[in-house]
Structure 1
């Protein structure tokens, strides 16, 4: 009799425990950044959350979806640029789920799908550009990749907010070739700058020569200024040009007595 009484008391306790367990399992708590996609007997019903929600066990199922921005690292991809240069490029993408229903129903695993799509898009977009554009126009490439990913993931309920190319790795041969190209470019610019300076200097010298030609005494003043600058260097020997007008005057003065003597010597013969 005691065994039958104990068994009859355990049955209600077990039923009550099951009911309590069933009741507690109905309540779910979703955080502010979470949403619950509810399926009723396998068919989509609604999206619930955040806060306290009720999910009836067995006949209802819930799939949690995180709405926060996901930072995904795109593995390094081997890319051949339009000018046939082989490089390895990796990037990072920022995206988030904006439609939980599409993210769960339209694609099996939206994280893996977005990662694979980012890798293929990175290779296809960078393959259409030359190496110089990859190195110099990263902002433009980031915008192009982001626009393509955002358009293709729209049907999955995903918004791609940003794409950043992190590294463009080159082999040693290409690095040396780029270094030689940069050195040649700097040499070309230096020659152009030097030639431009020579052109400007020649123009100024012509203007200065024209100004000095207008006033004969100006060149003599320039000679005196040059002598003053040379004397400040404490040189033992100073060489300076003399005006041809001054030399002509000296030569003319030396020739005049000889002409007079010739004239006097010719008179007795006449």
Structure 2
């Protein structure tokens, strides 16, 4: 069997390399931004998913993922509007919706989104008071998402959600807030106790009014009290009974 010429072997080798470099397979969540001699092809230059054929040497492809990226915003030192120093961290959920813009409009869209998220976090939270930062976190999250998404839209990046993850307060502020919460709980306890006393005094006043209008009711209440005392102590107790108490029972009804 005759051996193939060396030149033909070299030619076949280069053909295989060229074919291997000209065929690309993109997954469902991937897109390829193709440049032909430095220019986007086919309008937006986006191809995929599936099998992509490139012209060797002439075409260059940049692969872009369309999946959601979870991006941690590092802890930022922030001074709130009421001059309280806090440390705040957040998380940003974003994804590429226009691959050609993400490649052409910005050098590194992930880095750009991360840096802008940090500056926006400091800016927005610096305009809020500490109480609003702690109690209206959902409102602040929505505001952060709208601002960041508006500025990343020209880059083809959609910011779907921003969440303030953690807020670290100074020790002095934590102790002050604990004292404030304790004072608030004590105040509520005193208000509830005072409200109970007020309601009890109203009921006693109503009962006294009823007993004053019905002397027989006072007599029955007196006798009931004697019975309860005798039952509880399990002994014989002698009480002097004023004759005025028995008069309603002794008096004959008028005909």
TM superposition score category, shorter chain reference: 0.7 to 0.9
Structure 1 residue ranges without an equivalent (≥5): 1-5, 247-270
- State the alpha-carbon separation in 1 of the partners of residues 239 and 131 from structure 2: 56
Gaps of 5+ in 2: 246-255
Counterpart in 2 of 1:200? 199
Q: Normalising by structure 1, what TM-score?
A: 0.83
Shift of the 241–136 alpha-carbon distance from structure 1 to 2, 3 Å rule, reads farther
TM-score by length of 2: 0.87
- Cα RMSD for the two superposed structures: 2.3
Match of 2:252 in 1: none
1:106-162 per-residue CA deviation (whole Å, 9 max, x = no partner) reads: 111000001011111111111122212222221111111111111111111111111
> Which position in structure 2 is the counterpart of 1:267?
none
Judging changes above 3 Å, is the alpha-carbon distance between structure 1 residues 44 and 180 closer, same or farther for their aligned structure 2 residues? same
CA distance in structure 2 between the partners assigned to 1:10 and 1:244 by the alignment: 141
Aligned pair 1:42/2:38, yes or no? Answer: yes
> Compared with structure 1, are the counterparts of its residues 187 and 100 closer, same or farther at alpha carbon in structure 2 (3 Å cutoff)?
same
Provide closer, same or farther for how the CA distance between residues 227 and 48 of structure 1 changes in structure 2, counting only shifts above 3 A. Answer: same
Q: Whole-Å Cα distance in 1 between the matches of residues 240 and 161 of structure 2?
A: 73
Q: How far apart, CA to CA, are the structure 2 residues paired with 1:239 and 1:198? A: 34
Q: Hey, what's the Cα distance between the residues in 1 that align with 2:242 and 2:164?
A: 71
Which aligned runs of 4 or more in structure 1 are off by greater than 6 angstroms? 235-244
Write the deviation string for residues 217-255 of structure 1: whole angstroms up to 9, x where unpaired: 111211222223333432889798977956xxxxxxxxx
SS at match of 2:233: coil
Bigger Rg, structure 1 or 2: 1
Quote the Cα distance in structure 2 between the aligned partners of 1:85 and 1:221. Answer: 67
User: What secondary structure does 1:68 align onto?
Assistant: coil
